[in-house]
Amino acid sequence: MIKKIPEKLKMLIIPLAIILAVVLVAVIFLGPRLSGIITGQEEISSQKAKLAKLTAKAAFLESLQASELQTKTENSLAFLPAEKDLPRVLSVVRNLAGDNGLELQGVRVGAGDISTGSAAVKTNKNELESLELKVILVGSWDQLQGFLFQIEEASPLMRVAKADMSFLPPLVEATLLIDSFSLPLPITLGASETPLAAISPQEEEVYRQLVKVIPQNQESLPSITSPSGRENPFVF
Amino acid sequence: MAQGINFLKPEPVGDFRFYYRARLFKVASLILLIVGCLALAATIALSINLAQTEKAVAAQTQIKKEKIAGLKKVESLQIILEQRLAALVGFKQKDLISEAKIIEEVLKATMAEVTVSEISLDEKKLVVVEGSAADSSALGAFLDRLSSQESLFAPATLTSLVRQEDGGYLFTVNLEIENHD
């Protein structure tokens, strides 16, 4: 015989069932949903931040004049080439010596410096590579002085690293160690949302200086090949 | 004696306090149910809104990525240019004094009684000057002039001095570029 449920308990069954159902729904459904919403909000925040970076980058890229940028890059590559260019350096040194009336008695290329591969592993992406050239010049001091001043303003970028001069009046015999610099191109573009560095006023000033020494008949920059993916877009 | 009866709120039969509490419990459960339903609806609405926002942001991100991909050539040119100019700025900051200027400064300090036979300049811009002087006072004056050059050299170091038969001197002097940082 089924025991009759007491009248008092009957009154509490429905409210109890409701409370139980609400608690169950909260635990099973609302809890995970809420935690999912919090995670989703964080995800959206990071996506929005990424979108903001992409928007800024796209706006920055759109603001750049492609043709002007192309010219500037060609000039900067002429002044600071991507690879060591021995024939061009030799030609510039020979011409400068000739222009100043100096006798070029000898040229020697520094051992182990011609290969770009030998210096390929660089920790700093802005670290310059150098090609060492030893030249022996004979002439007057004025001629040599002219050569020394001009080589510092020559294109490609060169510097006298070491100089030995013997004065045998009225002549000076100078043995110069000339470094010609190059800078390998970057390998990748980086992540799409990585912001691009704008050209700083200091860099603008450096560009204004270098453009004065770039010969106008320099060879043009080869066009960029159609890229496949984001890897190695700098292969010219 | 007349007795008033409230039909809307009938007097509970039996245990008055129990019925009163049971009614409160019933009302509370109903309120909880309503709040639960509202929370459920809000959660579902929020989820839908979140999904829509996520979709919109993803779509915009994709559009921007495509736009940037279309400007890849400009991007690579900008990177190359900036890389080169940044390297040149760094280079120019280190390369403050030209070699020609250094040698010119040494030669400017020479006088009739002093002859410079050799100047060596190494990578660290240490300058070694070799030459001959007619007498010690000429050599002293030469060293004073080298050291008193307005901005270029730290006081000169005489590293070698050989007296000649004619009373003159062969000398070697080391010069360092003065640091003005």
Q: Looking at the domain assignment, is residue A103 inside a domain?
A: yes
Total domain count for chain B? 2
A47–B32 CB contact, under 8 Å: no
d(CA A190, CA A212) in angstroms, rounded, equals: 32
The residue length of chain B stands at: 181
Contact list in A for residue B100 (CB cut-off 8 A) is 145, 148-149, 152, 160
* Chain B touched by A58 (CB under 8 Å): yes
Reported ipTM: 0.77
The pLDDT tens digits along chain B (181 residues) read 555 656 566 555 567 788 888 889 999 999 999 999 999 999 999 999 999 999 999 999 999 999 998 988 899 999 999 999 999 988 887 766 777 788 888 877 877 788 888 888 887 778 898 889 988 888 888 888 888 756 578 888 889 899 988 888 999 998 888 764 4
d(CA B60, CA B68) in angstroms, rounded, equals: 12
**Residue B171 in tokens:** 């000398």
Query: Is the domain of A159 the same as that of A50?
Result: no
Which residues are within 8 A (CB) of B148 and not within 5 positions of it... i.e. 6 or more apart? none
Domain-ending residue, one of B62, B90, B118: B90
Supply the range of the domain harboring residue A48.
7-60
Query: Is the domain of A89 the same as that of A169?
Result: yes
Query: Is the domain of B85 the same as that of B26?
Result: yes
Supply the range of the domain harboring residue B19.
14-90
Q: Looking at the domain assignment, is residue B2 inside a domain?
A: no
Query: Is the domain of B146 the same as that of B167?
Result: yes
At A113, which CATH number? 3.30.70.60
B85–A40 CB contact, under 8 Å: no
Nearest CA in chain A to B87: A126
Query: Is the domain of A100 the same as that of A209?
Result: yes
Query: Is the domain of A97 the same as that of A51?
Result: no
* Cis bond upstream, residue A170 (ω within 30): yes
Query: Is the domain of B74 the same as that of B109?
Result: no
Of B176, B156, B172, B154, the residue nearest B117 (C-alpha): B172
Query: Is the domain of B80 the same as that of B138?
Result: no
Of A127, A135, A129, A125, the residue nearest A84 (C-alpha): A129
At B110, which CATH number? 3.30.1360.100
Residue found under tokens 């030609």: A91
Residue found under tokens 């100089």: A163
Query: Is the domain of A91 the same as that of A176?
Result: yes
Query: pTM of the full predicted structure?
Result: 0.72
Query: Is the domain of A89 the same as that of A56?
Result: no
Query: Is the domain of A38 the same as that of A114?
Result: no
The residue length of chain A stands at: 236
Alpha helices by DSSP H, listed for A64-185, are 66-79, 86-99, 141-151
With H, G, I as helix, E, B as strand and everything else as coil, classify residue A161: strand
B99–A159 CB contact, under 8 Å: yes
Total domain count for chain A? 2
